[in-house]
Structure 1
Amino acid sequence: MLRVPAIFQNIGISHFPISLSDFHKNLTSFSKCLVGLMTYTKLTTPSYKSLLSDHLRNQKLNEARLVFNEIPFPSVSLYTMMITGYSRQHRLDDALKLFYEMPVKDTVCWNSMMKGCLDCGDLSKAKELFDGMPGKSVVSWTTIMNGFLQFGEVQMAERLFRKMPVRDVAVWNSMVHGYFSNGRVEDAKNLFKLMPCKNVISWTSMIAGLDQNGRTDEALLLFWEMMGSGVQPTLTTFVSVVIACANLLRLHLGVQIHGQIVKLGYCFDEFVAASLITLYANCKQMENSYKVFKESLHKNVVVWTALLTGYGLNCEHEEALKVFRDMMKLGVLPNQSSFTSALNSCCGLEDLDRGKEIHTTAIKIGFENDVFVGNSLIVLHTKCGNINDGVAIFKRIGDKNIVSWNSTIVGCAQHGCGMWALTLFNQMIRTGVNPDEITFTGLLSACSHSGMLQKARRFFKFFSQHKCVEVKLEHYACMVDVLGRCGKLEEAEELIKNMPVQANKMVWLTLLSACQMHSNLDVAERAAKSIDDLEPDCSDAFVMLSNLYASANRWSDVARIREKMKHSGTVRQPGSSWVTLKD
């Protein structure tokens, strides 16, 4: 049954469709009402559409639905607007209910509903809609293909790509982008070579994808190939290339591209300005970063955050916090990256009070449970010795990522709370989060600081055998530290000798430090010799060995070490500490 407007109810029609006798009985009245209704609908539909659009734009879904219910005969486009609004607010059930109620559906509506299912994380429902769709367009095929790529179902996406009756350049670009998103770099490169027609989006997707997958050298070579082929770069292309230069610290090349940007008049775009600020900041040229910032006409949050982050990367944390204060004074609303960078600068200064002030601002703006802000707060509190508050912040984060778990595990490890760290690791595994190299380092560090030798051995054996995490040099250094702290110096030395990679200075220094702790001169001398082979002027090795000789009353060896340091010009690096008084 269709909804009956009041204008028909006034003449005795209570339901649609109506019988033939009712139609003849009320023919005259019906005709007049129909003309009136057509005029009424023609006059009021634009105003309804405008009001509905305003409510949806302001995320007032209930108000939008009340307006929608007042429309006598909603068009397909109005249904589609309402369905899209529900999907954007993750109210998928309401969107599907309205979709199934539609008397007529066009291709645009089917595509919108499919995309809504994908945005809400329901791939199976999107596939069901696609299979039941009467007339599939190129957009329909592309939407479901992107859905499979979004959920990591690359093989299904490949099958759809091969089955598509028509493949335009947008489809090829989507497949290339999907390969990069899933780490399939070689597949993306091969598909790019097979593309019958490439546009600037194709080239830009390749450049950005190669850079994001650690193939930045290839990305820059591809950019020059693109320029040689006569394809005119866009703003997005320049942003991707400048970021690639920033990642490789290619200042000279970045300056050349900056010149091209100025010639083409793209220098006033905020994203280009932000990428240039990042380039100069990464290359330790904060004066040029600030110059680009000052020349930017539209200093939005992206540009401010780029400058704020740049100062933080160059350890100019006071300047970074000044930038954060200035953007707040000028009414520029910080985003999660702004808060993260500001909190990282507080961490660099170990200034917990200012960090708490920034946290208060984040709460007022609505980032109280944001995972990125929360991760920075965990690091700040743990670095400032406030492990209990760090763990409390971790518990309040709703959607925890691997960084959240790692930050808390490492923080507990650094403060000797080894059992806390292991408990968190068990919870992390139960929630389905896979550990990475940092998790492994944190676990070994926790075992080291808490003297849990057997647990460290089991962790090291597990990660080495199962190869779920690549065992790197820093993991061997952590294991050497565990063995050294527990007095297993010969076993630590044997581990170093049997490593699949050559030990560096830090690994041998870890062993030498343990030898100093346990007064073992034999192993210490062999470790010191290995360090001397790698770096003859290592002051830390000289000092530790000299202290060991002194504790053993071997004063002639102490004199020999000091003479050697004097002859080589090696000077012990002085330490430093500071206190904060009255800010």
Structure 2
Amino acid sequence: MKPFPALFSNLKSAGSLVLHPSPQTLKPTTKSTLPSWNSILLDLIHRNQINEARHVFAQIPSPDLRLCTMMINAYSRNNRIHDALNLFDHMPHRDAASWNSIIKGCLDCGELALAQRVFDEMPEKNVISWTTIVDGLARFGRVDAAEDLFWRMPKKDSAAWNSMISGYCCNGRVHDARLLFEKMPLRNVISWTAMIGGYDQNGESDVALRLFCEMCASGVQPTSSTFACVLAACADALDLCLGMQLHSYLVKAGYLCNTYVSTSLVTVYACCKQIESSRQLFYENGHRNVASWTALITGYGLNGKHFDALDEFQKMILHGTTPNQSTFTSALNSCCGLEALDRGRKIHAKATKHGFDIDVFVGNSLVVLYSKCGAIYDGLKVFDIMEERNLVSWNSVIMGCAQNGYALNALKYFDYMVYHHVQPDEITFIGLLTACSHSRMLDKARQFFQRLREDPLVNTKLEHYVCMVDVLGRCGQLDEAEEFIKHMPMKPNATVWLALLSACRVHLNIEVARRTAQTIFDLEPHTSAAYVLLSNIYASAGRWNDVAQIRVMMRCRGIVKLPGYSWITVKESRHEFVCGDRTHPMSKEIYKKLEWLSGKLKECGFESDKRYALHDVDDEQKEAALAYHSEKLAVTFGLLSTVEGSTIRVMKNLRVCGDCHSAIKMISKIVDREIVLRDSTRFHHMRDGCCSCGDCW
């Protein structure tokens, strides 16, 4: 790519941007000391006080065309198209501006058919009329109809060409847009900007940046909108070098006073993992509006700095800046990243207060948050009240039900999804197969997999085969699963074989486990999970010599087992535990409570399952080792630190062992509390001695 500063050699010297002034109260046009009716009306319209404006308008004896058109526009902006049409119908005279206003008003209010009818009835159409309806058709996805009208236009100005280019881009037809762009008799900066933005929005950010270079070389002067589009392309292409060069130019040219430009630059640095530069730019630039705050909060989330993201969200609230749906979405995503359910609930309350809880993007984030924190029923409540749902909404609720062990709910929501004519995608089928796997519904899984393969609109991916192997494995069909892998249309990777090896652990099939593990060693010799699983299988079967050989092999190959730990969040503070942990400040109280629980478990007839003690020691030592697993310590701490009767939520980075699963189920009955345990595979909702997994995990 040509060095960036040289690209500006053909540009005019850029000064500070001229921003549109805020609307001011208009002065009376008469010499009277009292403002005229016209001035009062204009002031009310500017203030968006539509009911008061309507009352004043009714007092004007003979409103002229200009005032009538202004009222039509005001009605349309407030989604009162019927009032606008009523006024339009009663106008004694109409000019092209009033016709164009009512067409645009219909489109802005979502009334495409009505806009087309008005356009057809318009006696003398001008280029603005044609451009407005072409733009409207494209906006509603009617690109072919927009294209037909565009070529029928008796006269086309640059705005008409630009409108059609934007219409193509908005509907994913960026190559058609480029062909039209090349045919344009006279391109302006809007044309170039539309094409640059179109390429970026359609996943061709590199092409967008090359086109910007062509624009600069041709001597076309970029505007603030152009720079915002180019910076967005830099962010998507992860082109930090070009972003920094742009930053330097924008400072010299004075463009950073434009909020959209500075906000886009914050996003560039965040996407390129330079979050401290984003923060520095945000605080040095001085802009404190919802867009810039949201960019910074989102940037922290993209960089995994979720605590910082939530801190900035709190600062934004204290600053008095009202969040929008994008801000709430980013903040909720950070809550999800931290599994901070309590903070998420508080942000949910704020979103509800501002009327965003029914927004599709905020709603989707809430469904995911509640699902990932084991509060699935709260997620279902959010989903049910959402006024608008998209594919992400349906996928989130199906996957949430699947991960939380409510397979029948997942299938029910899929039926609703089909009923509402929503086309499933690859993620939908992953959710459905996961639900079948976690509930051992093999026949259903076969049906969904067959449906997936027959659907021409969905691509069957490796992840679907992993899910199918998992279903077969959990259902004990290990030989069939092995054959299934061998006949896959794509080459299986270690993940597919690990799903089978995990099933061998459940069913203690040593022969299949040995073959499967060897295949994984050949594919990815440094995958620690395969060594650990095979070692655990040998240990459960009492084959300690084989266990020793696996451990020697791991040492020789420098493979380190991922340490298991559990954590629980209480009052927004995270507490982590490892097996036999005595470092916690409340260790004495935890172990004392755990001894009491152990006594209660024995009274209920519970016996430790020593197959899960993975060391060659006597039974008493095995029992002691099992008693102090990290998930049991975390649950015990939760019992000590939370309100009586409240739900305890514990997370674990590895799969929960069978002994802990059985013990915690019984503890839920002893203490009469719901205990939600999430391991690396799924959620377990334990209540009154039973688990949502039905002991199928």
Task: Give the TM-score normalised by the residue count of structure 2.
Answer: 0.74
Q: What residue is the counterpart of 2:78 in the other structure?
A: 89
Structure-2 separation of matches of 1:75 and 1:343: 50
**What does 1:12-23 correspond to in 2, within 5 Å?**
none
Q: What residue is the counterpart of 1:458 in the other structure?
A: 447
Q: What residue is the counterpart of 1:146 in the other structure?
A: 135
Q: Give 3-state SS (helix, strand or coil) of 1:196's partner.
A: coil
Matched, 1:80 2:65: no
Q: What residue is the counterpart of 1:12 in the other structure?
A: none
* 1:303-338 residue CA offsets vs partner (Å, 9 max, x unmatched): 111111111122212111111111111111111111
Question: Which residue of 275, 296, 299 maps to 2:285?
Answer: 296
Structure-2 separation of matches of 1:173 and 1:301: 29
**What does 1:81-120 correspond to in 2, within 5 Å?**
81-120=70-109
Q: 1:204–1:236: 8 Å Cα contact kept in structure 2?
A: yes
**What does 1:120-519 correspond to in 2, within 5 Å?**
120-519=109-508
Deviates more, 1:334-343 or 1:366-375: 366-375
How far off its partner does 1:581 sit? Answer: 4.2
Gap change, CA 1:43 and 1:97, over 3 Å in 2 = farther
Aligned residues: percent identity?
57
> One-letter code of the match for 1:331?
G
How far off its partner does 1:163 sit? Answer: 0.9
How far off its partner does 1:477 sit? Answer: 1.7
Q: Give 3-state SS (helix, strand or coil) of 1:267's partner.
A: helix
Q: Give 3-state SS (helix, strand or coil) of 2:219's partner.
A: coil
Q: 2:30–2:36: 8 Å Cα contact kept in structure 1?
A: no
> One-letter code of the match for 1:217?
D
How far off its partner does 1:84 sit? Answer: 1.9
Structure-2 separation of matches of 1:543 and 1:331: 53
Gap change, CA 1:363 and 1:487, over 3 Å in 2 = same
Q: 1:211–1:244: 8 Å Cα contact kept in structure 2?
A: yes
Structure-2 separation of matches of 1:137 and 1:43: 39
How far off its partner does 1:506 sit? Answer: 1.9
How far off its partner does 1:56 sit? Answer: 3.4
Task: Give the TM-score normalised by the residue count of structure 1.
Answer: 0.88
Gap change, CA 1:210 and 1:522, over 3 Å in 2 = farther
Deviates more, 1:103-112 or 1:341-350: 341-350
Structure-2 separation of matches of 1:490 and 1:482: 13
**Which one scores higher on RCO, CA 8 angstroms, separation ≥ 6?**
2
* 1:155-204 residue CA offsets vs partner (Å, 9 max, x unmatched): 11111111111111221111111111111122112212222222222121
Q: 1:41–1:72: 8 Å Cα contact kept in structure 2?
A: no
How far off its partner does 1:139 sit? Answer: 0.8
Structure-1 separation of matches of 2:549 and 2:416: 54
Gaps (5+ residues) in structure 1?
Answer: 1-39
Structure-1 separation of matches of 2:42 and 2:512: 76
Question: Which residue of 552, 563, 575 maps to 1:563?
Answer: 552
> How many residues align structurally?
544
Q: Give 3-state SS (helix, strand or coil) of 1:578's partner.
A: strand
Q: 2:310–2:334: 8 Å Cα contact kept in structure 1?
A: yes
> One-letter code of the match for 2:485?
I
Q: Give 3-state SS (helix, strand or coil) of 2:565's partner.
A: coil
Structure-2 separation of matches of 1:325 and 1:421: 35
* 1:439-468 residue CA offsets vs partner (Å, 9 max, x unmatched): 222111111112222122111211211222
How far off its partner does 1:561 sit? Answer: 2.4
Deviates more, 1:161-170 or 1:506-515: 506-515
Structure-2 separation of matches of 1:251 and 1:62: 50
Structure-2 separation of matches of 1:131 and 1:41: 40
How far off its partner does 1:293 sit? Answer: 0.8
Structure-1 separation of matches of 2:132 and 2:34: 30
Structure-1 separation of matches of 2:390 and 2:31: 52
How far off its partner does 1:366 sit? Answer: 2.7
Structure-1 separation of matches of 2:59 and 2:263: 47
Q: Give 3-state SS (helix, strand or coil) of 1:366's partner.
A: coil
> One-letter code of the match for 1:474?
E
How far off its partner does 1:106 sit? Answer: 0.7
Structure-2 separation of matches of 1:146 and 1:76: 25
> One-letter code of the match for 1:413?
A
How far off its partner does 1:108 sit? Answer: 0.9
Deviates more, 1:313-322 or 1:428-437: 428-437
How far off its partner does 1:500 sit? Answer: 3.1
Gap change, CA 1:42 and 1:483, over 3 Å in 2 = farther
Structure-1 separation of matches of 2:466 and 2:279: 40
Q: 1:251–1:280: 8 Å Cα contact kept in structure 2?
A: yes
Q: 2:196–2:209: 8 Å Cα contact kept in structure 1?
A: yes
How far off its partner does 1:554 sit? Answer: 4.2
The structure where helix makes up a greater share of residues is: 1
Matched, 1:576 2:565: yes
Structure-2 separation of matches of 1:234 and 1:529: 61
Gap change, CA 1:130 and 1:529, over 3 Å in 2 = same
Structure-1 separation of matches of 2:230 and 2:492: 36
* 1:12-55 residue CA offsets vs partner (Å, 9 max, x unmatched): xxxxxxxxxxxxxxxxxxxxxxxxxxxx9997997333332343
How far off its partner does 1:420 sit? Answer: 0.9
Deviates more, 1:297-306 or 1:542-551: 542-551
> One-letter code of the match for 2:142?
E
Q: 1:270–1:299: 8 Å Cα contact kept in structure 2?
A: no
* 1:202-253 residue CA offsets vs partner (Å, 9 max, x unmatched): 1211111111111112112212222222222222222222222222222222
Structure-2 separation of matches of 1:548 and 1:196: 73
Q: 2:342–2:571: 8 Å Cα contact kept in structure 1?
A: no
How far off its partner does 1:538 sit? Answer: 0.7
> One-letter code of the match for 1:549?
Y
Gap change, CA 1:155 and 1:84, over 3 Å in 2 = same
How far off its partner does 1:295 sit? Answer: 1.5
Q: What residue is the counterpart of 2:644 in the other structure?
A: none
Gap change, CA 1:172 and 1:497, over 3 Å in 2 = farther
Structure-2 separation of matches of 1:521 and 1:243: 54
Matched, 1:65 2:58: no
Q: What residue is the counterpart of 1:27 in the other structure?
A: none
How far off its partner does 1:478 sit? Answer: 1.8
**What does 1:541-552 correspond to in 2, within 5 Å?**
541-552=530-541
Gap change, CA 1:171 and 1:500, over 3 Å in 2 = farther
Q: What residue is the counterpart of 2:579 in the other structure?
A: none
Gaps (5+ residues) in structure 2?
Answer: 1-28, 573-697
Q: What residue is the counterpart of 1:55 in the other structure?
A: 44
Gap change, CA 1:45 and 1:99, over 3 Å in 2 = farther
How far off its partner does 1:142 sit? Answer: 0.6
How far off its partner does 1:343 sit? Answer: 1.5
The structure where strand makes up a greater share of residues is: 2
Cα root mean square deviation, aligned: 2.2
Structure-2 separation of matches of 1:135 and 1:544: 78
Q: What residue is the counterpart of 2:522 in the other structure?
A: 533
Gap change, CA 1:418 and 1:133, over 3 Å in 2 = same
Structure-1 separation of matches of 2:437 and 2:405: 9
Q: 2:298–2:330: 8 Å Cα contact kept in structure 1?
A: yes
